[in-house]
Amino acid sequence: MVSIEDYGNYDTAWCPGCGDFGILKALKKALAEMDKSPDEMLLVSGIGQSGKLPHYLNCNFFNGLHGRTLPPATAAKVSNHELTVMAIAGDGDCYGEGGNHLIHAIRRNPDITVLVHDNQIYGLTKGQASPTTQPGMKTKINKEGVFNRQLNPLALAISQDCSFVARSFSGDIEHLPETIKRAVEHKGLSLVDILQPCVTFNHLNTFKWYSERVYKLDENEYPLNDRVKAFEKSLEWGERIPMGVFYVNDRPVFEDSLDVLSSGPLIRNEVKTELVNELIDGFM
């Protein structure tokens, strides 16, 4: 049996009270409870405070570029589909710099889980607006308040038929690990938008602010594969913020569409010299 201790205990560079601690703890718990061993896990992250998370977990990791979590994660999964691949990103990372990759990863539907640390602010660069920053919030750049509309990642994902869409909160130590487990166990691209406070740079969306608003949605309210109902639900944001699994659609998965993977991981394929020579003969 895999235990939480197998995932190690590291010093972090996060601010005391950061929502990232809750996500790290929930992730370790979820992985241990699913009995995932560190050597079968690959965590791919970008840049931002979220991008550091894989450094604090004893497993395989690829901490790539800002916004570019999904392309390497997708290709890693294709290359060795026996690995459990997770993409760890932030709101600036996944919805700003890497927004295009998210749209196309949803279309492609590889079996990977995307955890987005959504603190509605840029932390690493010290307090600029992110795509999910609340309009009107004043920042060093937006002195009169942010004008741009707030991106709704859940509505975007559901509109594009993302195969698993959920929201959770870093402060809910029961709900978050359960949601992560369901996302990992779901076959296909799973997007989990995780609300988390940034204690240093976001003084509007605080732990208290979130705690007062989040509520668990009733999963019997509508069938989870009803895209229109799910979309409607995803629009709810304000005094009350629903969290839970909004939408599930067991769409065909990218790796399953690749016949070549049916005989085993791609990386085990050997060179086919004779076949190349046959092709060469075709040019004679």
Partner 1 sequence: MKVDLTIKIGGAAGQGLDTIGSVLSSTLMKCGFFVFTTQFYLSRIRGGHNTFQIRISDEAIKAMDEKVDILIALDRASIENHLDEMSDGVVIVDKDTVKLDDDFDSLFHVPLLKIAKDTGGNKLYANSVAVGASMGLLCLDFDVLSDVLSSIFERKGQEIIDNNIKAAKAGYDYARDNYPQGCKFDIRQPEKHSNKMLIAGNESVGLGALAAGLHFLSAYPMTPSTGVMNYIAGKAGKFGLVVEQAEDEIAALNMAIGASFTGARSMVTTSGGGFCLMVEALGLAGMTETPVVIFQAQRPGPATGLPTMTEQGDLLFAIHAAQGEFPRCVLAPGTPEDCFYMTASAFNIAEKYQIPVIVMSDQYLADSMFTCERFDASKVPVERHLLSDEEISSMQEEYGRYRFTQSGISPRAVPGQKGVLVGADSDEHDEFGHIDETQENRINMVHKRMNKLELLRDEMPVPEIYGPEDAELTLIGWGSTYGPLVEAVDILKEEGHSVNVMHFTHLYPLPAEKIREMLGGSGMKVCVENNRTGQFARLLAAEAGIGMMENILRYDGLPFTPQFIVDALRKKEVL
Q: Among 144, 147, 149, 271, which residue interacts with partner 1 (rule: CB under 8 A)?
A: 271
For residue 104, which amino acid is it?
H
Which CB sits closer to partner 1, 235 or 260? 260
Binding track, positions 63-82, relative to partner 1; x by CB under 8 A: xxx--x-xxxxxxx-xxx-x
Query: Would you count residue 11 as binding partner 1 (CB under 8 A)?
Result: no
Contact yes or no for 270/126 (Cβ under 8 A): no
Is residue 15 within the footprint of partner 1 (CB under 8 A)? no
284 part of the interface to partner 1, by CB under 8 A: yes
Site for partner 1 in 32-51 (CB under 8 A): 38-40, 42, 44, 47
Contact flag: residue 58 with partner 1 (CB under 8 A): yes
Question: How far apart are alpha carbons 69 and 189 in whole angstroms?
Answer: 13
How far apart are CB 102 and partner 1 at their closest, in Å?
10
- The reply to whether 3 sits near partner 1 by the rule CB under 8 A is no
Exposure letters 101-135 (e unless 16+ CB within 10 A, then b):
bbeebbebbbbbbbbbbbbbbbbbeebbbbbbbbe
Sole window of 16-24, 129-137, 188-196, 263-271 interacting with partner 1 (rule: CB under 8 A): 263-271
If one asks whether residue 94 binds partner 1 (CB under 8 A), the answer comes out as: no
Q: From the CB of residue 226, how many other CB atoms can be counted at a distance below 10 Å?
A: 14
Interface with partner 1, residue 266, by CB under 8 A: yes
Spatial distance between the Cα atoms of 87 and 104, rounded to a whole number of angstroms: 14
C-beta of 13 vs 141, nearer to partner 1: 13
Fill in the per-residue mask, 103 to 142: x = in contact with partner 1 (CB under 8 A), - = not in contact.
xx--------------------------------------
3-class state of residue 63 by DSSP: strand
Dihedral of the alpha carbons of 209, 26, 50, 69, in degrees to the nearest 10 = -120
Q: Is 4 in the site for partner 1 (CB under 8 A)?
A: no
> Other CB atoms closer than 10 Å to residue 268's CB: what's the count?
8
The helix-helix angle for 175-185 and 19-33 (nearest 10°) equals 50
How many other C-beta atoms lie within 10 A of the C-beta of residue 223? 11
Binding site for partner 1 (CB under 8 A): 13, 38-40, 42, 44, 47, 52, 54-55, 58-65, 68, 70-76, 78-80, 82-83, 100-101, 103-104, 258-260, 263, 265-267, 269-277, 279-281, 283-284
